[in-house]
Amino acid sequence: MVFILITTFFIALMGLAFHRTHLLSALLCLEAMMLTIFIGMAMWPNNLTPSMLMAPLIMLTLSACEAAMGLSLMIATARSH
């Protein structure tokens, strides 16, 4: 399972490197990277202390904020051009 997560993360990272000029594709690649990290963090606390159980939810919240900011920047750019 760890191999699949690492592979998914690096595929999204390579997609981000190749689609830097297209904003929507770059945002989708960033979102794929964040979701891969979220899945990894959700599976990770099984072996750790209970204090790490909230980390995936906090990271998912930050990911949603990042997506909203990216889409609002894209809309603002589209309206100004």
Tokens standing for residue 31: 């979102």
Return the domain boundaries, the chain: 2-80
In this prediction, residue 15 carries a pLDDT of 92
- The pLDDT tens digits for 60-71 are 888 888 888 888
Closest CA to 52 of 64, 63, 40: 40
- The pLDDT tens digits for 23-59 are 888 888 888 898 898 888 888 766 666 666 777 788 8
pLDDT band at 20 (very low <50, low <70, confident <90, very high): confident
Give the integer Cα–Cα distance in Å for 51 and 27. Answer: 31
The residue assigned the tokens 């995936």 is: 56
Domain 2-80 CATH (choose: 3.40.718.10, 1.10.287.3510, 3.30.43.10, 2.40.50.180) = 1.10.287.3510
- Decide if 26 contacts 20 (C-beta within 8 A): yes
| Model confidence, pTM | 0.74
- Decide if 39 contacts 7 (C-beta within 8 A): no
First to last CA, the chain: 44
